[in-house]
Structure 1
Amino acid sequence: MKRKTTLKLAAALIATTMIATPFAATYASPGEREHKGEYMRGEHGEYGEHGKHGKGGMFHGEGRARAVPLTIDEARTLVDAMLLKMGEPNLKTGDAKASEQAGKIDVVLLNASGDVVEVLKFDEKTGRMDRGTRHDLRKLIGKPNKDKAARFDRKFTADQMTLLANAMVIRFGNGELKLGDITETPRGTYTATVTNQAGEIVREMELSSVTGRPIS
């Protein structure tokens, strides 16, 4: 075969391959197209087996089904803490009850006058707010206040710190842990103990009274 003929055949083969590849990808089955994305997220979801905070998570709990289903009182506590952290004076928590939808909990969100604004739906198995509810809440409240100076000037009271710490344990404790003692330190922070259901301490942490978050 002459050299010119060989080059022409090679060029034609390359061109055919370049055209065929995009079409093959376009017409691949949905399962084939989605497999790579699913694999990249991992077997246990977006954050892996142990939750968003890496191996073990904060309390080995977030991102997987709870050992003990979320209770109505716990769902209400989560909403109370959320509103406190957001600094929303015009919203407050209303009634909390079992939803008509099996496995769900409804927590009513009220305005300052006591009128119903939204119904927040939680999943008992995961302890998390439903995705649709989170989306509606973001649209309702909008972006958080970006005034960092004002945010760092505040100081939570002892009762507020207890609420925030309790909500943290509910969220990350997988239903197996509970808040123990919480006390103020001489430097204005708070120390809190986390216990198992038998009352045995499994973790001690120091919390900032400005952010409500652990600092150690």
Structure 2
Amino acid sequence: MVMRLGPGSAQQRMLQAGIRTGPRLSAPIAGTVPSVGTDDRFRGDDASFSTQQWGLAFDAAMTWPLTERLHLHTGLQGEMFLPLPVPGYGVYAGMSYYIGSESLGFAPSLAVRGASDFGISSSKGGPGSMAGAEATCALTFSPESGVSVGLVPFVAVHTLSSHGVSNGSLYYGGVVAARFTWGWLDTLELSGGFGRAKVGDSTSWNVPIVGVRGGR
């Protein structure tokens, strides 16, 4: 997810790395095929924290300033619940544009993203692949230099594929985020919130969101 908390630097790139939670969007498809066991069945809101439909990923992102207001964002993720944390499990690229002052503003962004577990049948909530786009708009306030807090609503649409079945998904929600200087890190970013994922015409469930990233 692209979260631009404040105008950022117009001269320096920023590298961030950490962990983030999110939905396994292929879970409703993979968890309803006849061959899966009882423990692997999709259970929706009855099991929001089940690792079949919710998980952790390594998250790395690079922000590239193109102008003072326009920034390019690229990133990759490595799934933590596969037999191996596969680098590049998910990739994204997008743009953001900051509107406002140093202390108060908002930054809409649009990114394209894709992910795959490369057909690994033992993966949680899989196997599955997805491709789509995500829009965010970070509303930020900076009470002092080096500190930013913000509210970031988001919406994403994807095409999913699992077990030879394809379907569309809608994922939307919001997070509260804070970024500040801490120790040897130029930035420490904390975020938390909730999303709602919907796959197909009727299947939907709540998604707790938690993230932490350090940047230099």
Q: Normalising to structure 1: TM-score of the pair?
A: 0.22
Structure with the higher helix share, 1 or 2: 1
Highest RCO, 1 vs 2 (Cα 8 Å, sep ≥ 6): 2
Task: Return the index of the structure with the highest Cα Rg.
Answer: 1
Structure with the higher strand share, 1 or 2: 2
